[in-house]
Copies of this chain bind each other. A is one copy, B any other.
Amino acid sequence: MKPSGSPHRASPTPTVKSMPDATATDGPTVGQVSTRLGVTVRALHHWDDIGLARPSLRTAAGYRLYTAGDLERLHRIVVYREIGLGLDRIRAILDDSTADVPGALRAQRTQVAERIDRLQQLSAGLDRMIDAHERGLLLTVEQQAAIFGPQWNPDWLAQARQHYGDTTQWRQYAERSASRGPEEWQAIADATAGLDRALGDAMDAGVTPGSPEANQLVELHREVFASYFPLTRQMQVCLGRMFEADPGFAAHYDGIRAGLATWFRRIIDSSARAHGIDPDTATWE
């Protein structure tokens, strides 16, 4: 608070000071100008500070008084600012009488067009993400059938969202889905089908829980499943139990080979135990 003194200055503006009593005749003050032009007082102060629009007059007390000429200039500033020009460019246009106004305007127009473009792409991206969060997939029902096979039921997604919609995992899944096209889904579907086949073959071949082959399959499952969302071993154990308990999942796996659901759960449990996890106390995340 050093400069606590009154705002008397030698002659900061190049113009003459007004008479002590003259107020209405010399021009409006900041507040009046601000309401008249629809800008804040702070903006007027700022424009004065940076020399963009200084009032020609000051009262003896230091009040800014804007003349008709000042208002003309301010009006142009407001217009250009609404157009989206930066204050520097406005200053250039206002002060440089040789400035190429239409050129500057055209340049600004292309910039605005670019920004509109970017925003529209962004809006499209947002729509895709919202869709992904709400529908779970960005594919038409036909595409879904073509990719996931005939036994695929589109309602499953809605049910999954009902159940898991506000879990971290659904969010992760949805966000990844937003940036996946049909080919990528196809690749995931292929990998899943390959895993199913490998599971059936291994069970046929008499692979036993805890064996290296079984553990490798469990790891493969983790990898494939990770395309939906990151899956810890504990979560995988929970999944395995669900595969066995849930009628839908059990039917799927037992449809590949009788007893596959249970066998799958057992190889997951064994692998988890090998990694120091007790399957009976494993929790989701």
Interface on A for B, CB 8 Å cutoff? Answer: 72, 76, 79, 82-84, 97-98, 101-102, 105-106, 108-109, 112-113, 115-116, 119-120, 122-123, 125-127, 129-130, 133-134, 166, 168, 171, 174-175, 179, 230
Q: Are B72 and A230 in contact (CB under 8 A)?
A: yes
Q: Are A113 and B122 in contact (CB under 8 A)?
A: no
Question: Cβ of A72: which chain B residues have Cβ within 8 Å of it?
Answer: 230
Within the complex, the shortest CB–CB distance from A226 to chain B, in Å, comes to 11
Tell me which of B79, B102, B126 contacts A105 (CB under 8 A). Answer: B126
Q: Identify whether the interface residues of A are mostly helix, strand, loop, or mixed.
A: helix
Q: Are A109 and B123 in contact (CB under 8 A)?
A: yes
14 pairs, CB–CB < 8 Å, chain A vs chain B: A72-B230, A76-B175, A82-B122, A83-B122, A83-B126, A84-B119, A84-B122, A97-B168, A98-B166, A101-B171, A101-B174, A106-B130, A116-B116, A119-B119
Q: Are A126 and B109 in contact (CB under 8 A)?
A: yes
Q: Are B116 and A130 in contact (CB under 8 A)?
A: no
The complex places the Cα of A230 from the Cα of B68 at a distance, in Å, of 10
The complex places the Cα of A108 from the Cα of B179 at a distance, in Å, of 18
The complex places the Cα of A8 from the Cα of B101 at a distance, in Å, of 56
The complex places the Cα of A179 from the Cα of B79 at a distance, in Å, of 10
Question: Cβ of A113: which chain B residues have Cβ within 8 Å of it?
Answer: 123
Question: Cβ of A83: which chain B residues have Cβ within 8 Å of it?
Answer: 122, 125-126, 129
Within the complex, the shortest CB–CB distance from A93 to chain B, in Å, comes to 8
Q: Are A130 and B109 in contact (CB under 8 A)?
A: yes
Question: Cβ of A119: which chain B residues have Cβ within 8 Å of it?
Answer: 84, 112, 115-116, 119
Question: Cβ of A106: which chain B residues have Cβ within 8 Å of it?
Answer: 130
Extra contacts, 6 of them, besides A97-B168, A102-B134, A112-B123 (Cβ < 8 A), are A72-B230, A82-B122, A82-B125, A98-B166, A101-B171, A105-B130
